[in-house]
Structure 1
Amino acid sequence: MSQNSTPVSKRRIVILTEGHTEPVPAKTATCILRYRGDEAVAVFDREQAGKTAGELLGVGGDTPIIGDLAQAEGADTLLVGIAPPGGRAPAEWKPILLDAIARGMKIVSGLHDFLGDDPELAEAAKKHGVEIHDVRKNNERDVASRQGVREDCLRVLTIGNDCSVGKMLTALEITNAMKRRGADAKFVATGQTGIMVEGDGVPIDCVVSDFLNGAVEKLVLGNQHHDTLIIEGQATITHPRYSCVSSGLVHGAMPHGMVLVYEMGRDTVMGMSPLQVPSLEDTIEAYERFAGLAMPSRVVAVAMNSRRFTDDEAQAERERVSERLGLPVADPIRHGCDDLVDAIERLRGEVIPAAATATATG
C-alpha cells in the first residue's frame, strides 16, 4: 500500500490539541478517541488540564486532559490532534514537541507543515533516536489509467456539501456496520486522520495535482480484493478552496454509488462566510453529473450530522429530508447505519450483476 501507511499496532498515545480542544478544530483527536480510544492515554492542553475528553470533545469518556507530559507515564507517541485550515503547526507548540522528543516519544503529525523538515525538531529527533512521522508526506507519481479495475468490487464514495461535515466518520461507521453483518468491506482512507485510524491510505490533499486521480485509483486497485470499498470523501466539488481535491477523488475512485453527508443547521460554507452552502438537491445533481462524465454513479443515501440538535429535532429533520429527496437518511451516530447499508446492498444488486454480465460478454 502507500508509503504513508501507519502500522496498526498497540501504542500509548498522548493527543496534542493545545488551545484547540473543541470538536471541529480537534476532529483528528475526536476520531482517534472514537476509533482507537484504547490507545489514548491522555489529551494534552494546558488550558484545559483537569477536565476529560468526554467533557470537551463528546468522545473519549474519562480520558484525562493533561498539561504536563510527565503525567502520561508510559506514553510512547505524541499525536497531533488538530486539522487547522492550511495545516500549519502553531508556533507555540514547539517546546511541547521538543519535550516529547526528549522523553523518547514518537511524533505523528498529519499537518501540511512537515515537522520532520523543521531543523530543530529533526536534530532533536536524531539526538534522541526518535521518529517523526509526517503522515501527509508522500511520493505519489502515478497517473490514472482505468486499467485492471474489478467491476465486481462495489465502490462507494462519501461526499458532502461542505468541509468537515462527517464524511470520514460516515465511511468508517458504514464499513463497521457492514462488517458486523459479515460483509467483506474495507474503509479506504484518503486523509491524514483516516490513515491514522485505519493504518493505510494516501493523503490526497498533499499529492501533486497531476497524480491525484492516479493515487486514488491505486488505492482502489490495491484494495479491490475486498467485495466492497467504502472510500473516504474529502471536502466537496462545490467548495471554492478545495474543489480540486474532491474532483480528483471522484474520478480516481470511480464510484458505483455515493452517500451524501451534511451537517444539520449549517448555512454558510466553512471558511467562506457569507457564501451559502449549496442545497442538497444541487449538490446531488452536481456530483452525479460530474461523476457521470466518467461512469454512471448516483447518490443512494444521505448521512446527516445532527450533533447540535436534540433527538426530536434530528428525527423531524430526518423525515423531512428523506421525503424531500426520496432517499434513506440517518445520522450514523444517533440512528445507526442500517438504512445506509441497506441502500448500499440494494445498489450492489443493481450494478454488480450487470457489470459481471457485461465483462463476460464483452
Structure 2
Amino acid sequence: MLRSSEPRLVILTEGYSDPINAKTATSVLRYGQHPTVAIIDSLQVGKTAEEILGVGGNIPFVANLSDAPTANTLMIGIAPPGGKIPMSWRSVIRGAIALGMDVISGLHDFLVDDDDFVIDASRFGVNLIDIRKNDEHDVCNQKDIRVECLRIHTVGQDCSVGKMVASIEVARALQDQGYDAKFIATGQTGIMIEGDGCPIDCVVGDFISGAIEKQILAQQHHEILVIEGQGSLAHPRYSAVTLGLLHGCIPHGMILCYEVGRSWVRDMPHVNLKSLQELRTIYENTASIMFPSKIIGVAMNSRLLSEREANAERKKVHLELGLPVCDVLRDGPHDLVKAVQKLHMELR
C-alpha cells in the first residue's frame, strides 16, 4: 500500500482539527503502524496532538510543510460528510508532491482522477494512494462460510460514534488473551491502520454484501473476526451501506456503539436518534433475516463526560438493556471481550 521505505507521515487536518472531523488523524495517531512527525493546521500552531486530539503526545501542529520535520508521506486526516477534498488544500497537496512526498487519501474525491495531481505525481515520481478506490464486482452467495469462525460486528446508533475504535480494541484484547482474532476493516481509516480490508461505503450497491463476504472468506481461517461497522440503520444517508454490510458479514453477535449526549443524527439536527432499546430490536431483527444474531454488549463513547458522569451512564444503560457496557478507551474493552468469549463458548 505504501512505499517500501518506512513511511514518515505528515497529517493534513487544516481547519478540521477536532476528534470528530479529524477522526482519521486521531485513529492513525492512536493505532497506526508508521510514525507521524507533524500535523498541518495553521489554526493550532504551537499546540500538540495530545492537547487538541487527545492522543499523539508531543507531535506538533505546524502551519505548513516547510515547518514540519522531514517526512516522505502526506496523509489526508479528515473524514467530512461527502468525502470532498477542500479546495484550499489543493496547494498543500501539490506542494507535498513537489517535495517528493507520496499522498494518501481516504476521501471520495480520488487523487488519481485529478489531472493536476496526476501530472505532478508523474513529474516528481511519487505515489497517489486512494484508499477508497476499488473494483469490487462480486455478489454475495452465502456459500463456504466456515462454521467454526466466530463473527462479531460493531453497529451504531449513528455514524462517528466509535465503531472502528471498539472493533480494534476488542480484536487486540482478544489477541492479547491468546485468541486468533482478526480486525476486518471496512472504512478508509481502518484500512490505513490494518493494511487491508474493503472500503464498503465506496462499493457499488449490488456488491456491498459480496465485498464483505469476500473479506470473510479470505480471513475465516482465524478463530474470531471482528468486523468494523459503518453508519447506522437509522441514518437517512448511510443506512443502505449499513444494511449491505450487516447482511454480508452475517454476524453471530453484534456490539452496539453510541456516543453519550447525542440526541440527533450527526449533521442532521432535524432527525432525532432512536433509542438504544429500539435499535437493539431493529438490528437483531434485520440481521436475523439472513442469520440468527443478537446484541451482546454496548460500547459507550463518553468523551464529553466526566468520570463520575460516565460511570453513572454506564450503570444506567446496563440496567436498561441487561448487557455489559463500557467505554473501550476509558474503561478498557474487557467487559465486551468477556461477552465475545461467552458467545464463543455457547456456539461451540
- Confirm or deny a common fold (TM above 0.5): yes
1:271 to 264, 267, 271: 267
1:168 to 146, 149, 164: 164
Matched, 1:214 2:210: yes
Q: CA deviation at 1:219?
A: 0.5
Distance 1:117 1:345 in 2: 45
In structure 2, do the counterparts of structure 1 residues 176 and 10 end up closer, same or farther at CA, with 3 Å as the change threshold? farther
**What are the within-5 Å matches in structure 2 for residues 256-335 of structure 1?**
256-335=252-331
CA distance in 2, matches of 1:167, 1:30: 14
Aligned to 2:9: 13
Secondary structure of the 1:234 match is coil
Show the counterpart of 1:147. 143
In structure 2, the partner of 1:237 is 233
Distance in 2 separating the partners of 1:149 and 1:104: 45
Unaligned runs of 5+ in 2: none
Offset of residue 39 of structure 1: 1.0
RMSD: 1.2
Percent of pairs with identical residues: 51
Partners of 2:219 and 2:4 lie apart in 1 by: 17
Of the three residues 38, 45, 66, the one matched with 1:42 is: 38
TM (normalized to structure 1)? 0.94
Distance 1:9 1:180 in 2: 29
How far apart are residue 38 of structure 1 and its match? 5.3
* Letter matched to residue 100 of structure 1: A
Tell me how far 1:48 sits from its aligned partner. Answer: 1.5
Partners of 1:90 and 1:21 lie apart in 2 by 14
CA contact (8 A) 1:28 1:82 kept: yes
Aligned ranges for residues 127-146 of structure 1 at < 5 Å?
127-146=123-142
Alignment: residue pair count: 348
Which structure 1 residue ranges, 5 or more long, are not aligned?
354-362
Question: C-alpha deviations, 1:71-110, integer Å up to 9, x for none?
Answer: 3333010000000000000000011001100110000000
Which amino acid is 2:301 matched to? N
The answer (yes or no) to whether the contact 1:6–1:200 under 8 Å persists in 2 is no
**TM-score under structure 2 normalisation?**
0.98
Structure-2 separation of matches of 1:171 and 1:126: 38
Q: Which residue of 1 aligns with 2:101?
A: 105
The answer to whether the 8 A contact 1:15-1:29 is kept is yes
Contact 2:157 2:274 in 1 (8 A): yes
Runs of 4+ displaced beyond 6 Å: none
Which residue is equivalent to 1:88?
Answer: 84
Contact 2:152–2:227 under 8 Å retained in 1 = yes
